[in-house]
Amino acid sequence: MNEVVFLLIVLSAYILPVVIVVNSKRTQGHEKNGWLIGVIVFSWLGLVMYFTIVPKHGHKKKKRK
């Protein structure tokens, strides 16, 4: 039983960064896909890089003339 609980905790810790990036409004489109691949491969290290590199307020909309 302890092994199952440990496995669930490890699996949750691996999937949590993916869920955070998917629900984030900081990126969109192909940029988000790239970050998802990075977070899936590098898990928490990718999430730390995501938060340090991507702007906090996301993309600003460009005003059209």
- C-alpha 51/C-alpha 25 separation (Å) is 12
* pTM (whole model) above 0.75: no
- C-alpha 17/C-alpha 48 separation (Å) is 9
| Top-confidence residue, 57 or 20 | 20
Angle at 54 between CA 36 and CA 37, to 5 degrees: 15
- C-alpha 35/C-alpha 39 separation (Å) is 6
Is the pLDDT confidence value at 23 over 90?
yes
